A and B are shown apart, each in its own frame.
Chain A
Amino acid sequence: MSRRIAVLVFPGTNSEDETLRLLHDCGGDAHLVHWSRAKTLPSFDAYVLPGGFAYEDRIRAGAIAAHDTAMDHVIAGAQRGKLVFGICNGAQILLEAGLVPGTGPVRLPTAAFTRNGPVAHFVCTHVHVKLNIDPARCAITAALPRGTLIPAWTANGEGRLAADAARLQELQDGNHIAFVYAHPDGSVDDTASPNQSALGVAGLINHNGNILALMPHPERDAWTFNHPDKRRGDDMLATSGGAVLFRSFVEALART
Chain B
Amino acid sequence: MAEAANVALRSDELARIRERLGREPSTVEVHAFDAQWSEHCSYKSSRHQLKRLPTTGTFVVLGPAEDSGILHLGEHNGERYGIVIAHESHNHPSQVVPFEGAATGIGGIVRDVLCMGAHVIAVADPLRFGRIDDPHAHQRYVAQGVVDGISAYGNAIGVPNIAGDVYFDERFDDNCLVNVVAMGVVKESEIIHSYAPAGADGWDLVLVGKATDPSGFGGASFSSLTLDAADEASNKGAVQVPDPFLKSVIMRASYRVFALLHEQRVTVGFKDLGAGGIMGCSAEITAAGGYGARIDLDAVNVAVDGMRPEVIAVGETQERLLWAVPPSVTPLLLRVYNEEFTLPEIAYNARAVKIGTVTADKHYVLTHQGKTVMDVDIEFLTGSIRDELPSSESPAHEATSERPLVTGVQLDELLDRVLAHGDVCSREPLYRRYDAVVRGCTVIPRGAADAGVLAPIPGSRLGVALAVAGNPRYSHIDVRRAAEHAVYEAVRKVVATGARPIGLTDCLNFGNPRKIDHYSEFVTAIDGLARAAEKFHTPFVSGNVSLYNESASGKAIPASPIVACVGAFNDIGTVVTMPFKAAGSVLYLIGKPQAALGGSVLLDVLGRGDEHLPRIDYETVCAQHDLLYEAAQARLLRSARAVGNGGLVVALCEMAFATMRKGQPYVGAQIDDSWQWTHGSVGDLEAYFGESGGFVVEVAADDIEAFEGIADDVPGVCEIGVTIDRPMLAIHDEAFDLHRLRHMWYAPLREVYP
Contacts and interface: CB of A to CB of B under 8 A. Distances in A.
A56 B440 contact: no
A168 interface: no
B443 A228 contact: yes
Interface-central residue, A121, A124, A191, by most chain B CB under 10 Å? A124
Interface string B659-674: 0011110000000000
Interface string B131-173: 0000000000000000000011001111000000000000000
B663 A228 contact: no
Contact of A187 (B342, B443, B635, B663): B663
Contacts of B461: 236-237
A247 interface: no
Contacts of B158: 14-15, 52
Contact of A185 (B345, B443, B663): B663
Interface in B566-590: 571-573, 575, 577, 579, 581
Given A36-B339, A53-B156, A153-B437, A184 B432 contact: no
B437 A11 contact: no
Contact of B340 (A15, A34, A228, A236): A34
A36 to B, nearest CB: 6
Interface in B661-702: 661-664
B664 A18 contact: no
Interface in B411-441: 432-441
A11 B249 contact: yes
B438 A125 contact: no
B572 A228 contact: yes
B158 to A, nearest CB: 3
Given A122-B155, A225-B572, A155 B435 contact: yes
B248 A12 contact: yes
B459 interface: yes
B212 interface: no
B319 to A, nearest CB: 13
Interface in B74-90: none
A17 B459 CA distance: 13
A53 B572 contact: no
B114 to A, nearest CB: 15
B572 to A, nearest CB: 5
B438 A14 contact: yes
A124 B662 contact: no
Interface in B89-146: none
A220 B437 contact: yes
Interface string B299-343: 000000000000000000000000000000000000000011110
A119 B438 CA distance: 22
A14 B340 CA distance: 17
Contacts of A55: 245
Contacts of B662: 183-184, 191
Contacts of B443: 225-226, 228
Contacts of B661: 183-184
B739 to A, nearest CB: 15
A15 to B, nearest CB: 6
Interface in A220-256: 220-223, 225-226, 228-229, 231-234, 236-237
A71 B192 CA distance: 37
B245 A51 contact: no
Given A185-B663, A222-B440, A124 B433 contact: yes
B744 interface: no
Contacts of B342: 11, 35-36
A18 B441 contact: yes
Contacts of B156: 12, 14, 53, 56
Interface residues of A, number: 47
Contacts, number: 123
Contact of B439 (A17, A53, A124): A17
Nearest to A128: B663
A122 B438 contact: no
B346 interface: yes
Given A12-B248, A124-B434, A229-B579, A234 B573 contact: yes
B663 A183 contact: yes
Interface in B423-473: 432-444, 455, 458-459, 461, 463
A51 B432 contact: no
Nearest to B243: A56
A219 B433 CA distance: 19
Nearest to B436: A124
Contact of B432 (A11, A124, A222, A236): A124
A228 B444 contact: yes
Contacts of B155: 53, 122, 124, 155
A121 B435 CA distance: 12
B151 A122 contact: yes
B607 to A, nearest CB: 34
A153 B433 CA distance: 13
Contacts of B571: 236
B624 to A, nearest CB: 23
B408 interface: no
A229 B459 CA distance: 20
A201 interface: no
Contacts of B433: 121-124
A14 B248 contact: yes
Interface in B642-666: 661-664
A219 B439 CA distance: 9
B245 A229 contact: no
A55 B245 CA distance: 8
Contacts of B152: 122
Given A12-B156, A34-B340, A36-B340, A236 B435 contact: no
B438 A220 contact: yes
Interface-central residue, B438, B459, B661, by most chain A CB under 10 Å? B438
Contacts of B345: 11
B754 interface: yes
Contacts of A121: 151, 433, 754
Contacts of A185: 663-664
Query: What 10 pairs across the A-B complex have the smallest Cβ distances?
Result: A14-B158, A18-B440, A183-B663, A185-B663, A184-B663, A56-B245, A220-B437, A153-B437, A119-B754, A228-B575
14 contacts: A12-B245, A15-B439, A17-B439, A22-B440, A119-B754, A121-B433, A122-B152, A122-B155, A123-B433, A124-B436, A124-B437, A183-B661, A220-B438, A225-B573
Interface of A: 9, 11-12, 14-15, 17-18, 21-22, 34-36, 51-53, 55-56, 119, 121-125, 153, 155, 183-187, 191, 217, 219-223, 225-226, 228-229, 231-234, 236-237
Interface of B: 151-152, 155-158, 245, 248-249, 252, 339-342, 345-346, 432-444, 455, 458-459, 461, 463, 571-573, 575, 577, 579, 581, 635, 661-664, 754
